[in-house]
A = this chain, B = another copy of it.
Amino acid sequence: MTEPFRLTASQAQSKFKDGSLTVEDYARSLLSRVEARDATVNAWAYLNSELVLQHARELDQVPPEKRGLLHGVAIGVKDVILTKDMPTQYNSSIYENDAPKIDAGSIAVLRKNGALMLGKTTTTEFAATSVGPSHKGPKTANPHDPTRTPGGSSSGSGAAVGDLQVPIGLGTQTVGSTIRPGSFNGIYAMKPTWNSISREGQKLYSLIFDTLGLYARSVDDLKLLLDAFQLVDDEAAEDFEIKGAKFALLTLPTPQWPAPGPGTAAALKKGADILRDQGAKVEEIVLGNEFRPMYKYHLQVLSGDGRIAFLPDYYGTKDKLHSLLIEHVENKEKYTRKEQLKAFDELAAMRPKLDALADKYAAIIAPSVIDEAPVGHGNTGDAAFCGPWTAMHMPVVNIPGFKGENGLPIGLSLVSSRYRDQHLLRVCREVGKVFETQGGWTRDV
């Protein structure tokens, strides 16, 4: 029998339903996996085995007809999301051992649907820096090569899901904090449409960009989450076939965005070839000049938002804040309000235009990251390729399946227009099958 920790959440649920696995035994298997791997990967900021087993036993007591959509689904929660039974520490010494008794809106939805919170996963400081996170020990490592970063800021959730320590992880994304670790750890990662899931109780960086992120090792698992969050499209579900579908292979204009490295360039080419082999049309398009300032505007808005978001921690505990966050509060860049409002308004004006472009295609295909996860744990990598879809509020999924020059995972982003999240998942289910079987990378942890 497959060790239970290797199951996806949907597979585990099948076994809960047919009675071949209890939530408690499943939890014990996940905890044993964590125990075996934690010294190497260091993905957890807080994990209380006794609490997990107690909740697991409670879930086993729920009669089948009263079980929620997420019954027994184990979840690792990025440590910037409030959980009433575990501390929330933000990888900040200001909040060491801080444990307010409150659940974030997203956590409440997941728990009320029967999910099992396994623990809190490591994050960069307030999910707002690129410095690799630690929890009073070595920094979090990439499970596929522990000398490398798992990415950030959702480092622990990405690494734990990639390492089979938990089937589902929650991240957040303000620029590229969910999609980048998704690619580096070889897993599915989804940033849904902005504001389609409650962000209440999730550490604030930017109201207009911050989005809950979702990690899983299958599209079925992502769909479970979207259904619990009641994310529905306007259009009714229709079966998607790659054959006859039209994709855009989007190249982003430089120098505003970096050039893809050899691994990502090869993945883009191979991904397009695979889809064409399956009978899809793949059009190469370049975003027009009007979109060139997008990343500049994104960072300008973010700077102004950080000025507001970190003021509470600046007063009295400035000495414990990363210099980037101090620079936000002190407006080191000297942006004027007018500049920041222009950036805010111009991004708003771009959104319906990008939607209209995306609606011409089954999905837009774009790079997730520059290349494989870089060596070292100090820096979590470059988020530039992820920024556009965050700024545009569009749903995006990283599909794993490709590999770089060192054999490490590389994923590609599939993007849709706002509030076509369920459509995007249907596309990703089919595209994921062929990318995972023909892309060249297979999970070997």
Contacts and interface: CB of A to CB of B under 8 A. Distances in A.
Contact of A102 (B102, B200, B313): B102
A32 interface: no
In the complex, the count of this chain's copies comes to 2
A234 interface: yes
A337 B208 CA distance: 18
A195 B101 contact: no
A208 B207 CA distance: 8
B195 A199 contact: no
B305 A195 contact: yes
A316 interface: yes
Interface residues of A, number: 50
B337 A355 contact: no
A129 interface: no
Interface string A187-209: 00000000111111001100110
A345 interface: yes
A80 to B, nearest CB: 11
A359 to B, nearest CB: 10
A392 to B, nearest CB: 12
Interface of A: 82, 84, 99-103, 105-106, 108-109, 112-113, 195-200, 203-204, 207-208, 229-230, 233-234, 305, 307-309, 311-313, 315-316, 329, 336-338, 341-342, 345, 348-349, 351-352, 355, 418-419
26 contacts: A84-B100, A99-B101, A100-B101, A101-B101, A105-B309, A108-B312, A109-B312, A109-B315, A112-B316, A195-B207, A195-B305, A195-B308, A197-B308, A198-B309, A198-B311, A200-B203, A200-B204, A207-B208, A230-B311, A337-B418, A338-B419, A345-B348, A345-B352, A348-B348, A348-B349, A349-B349
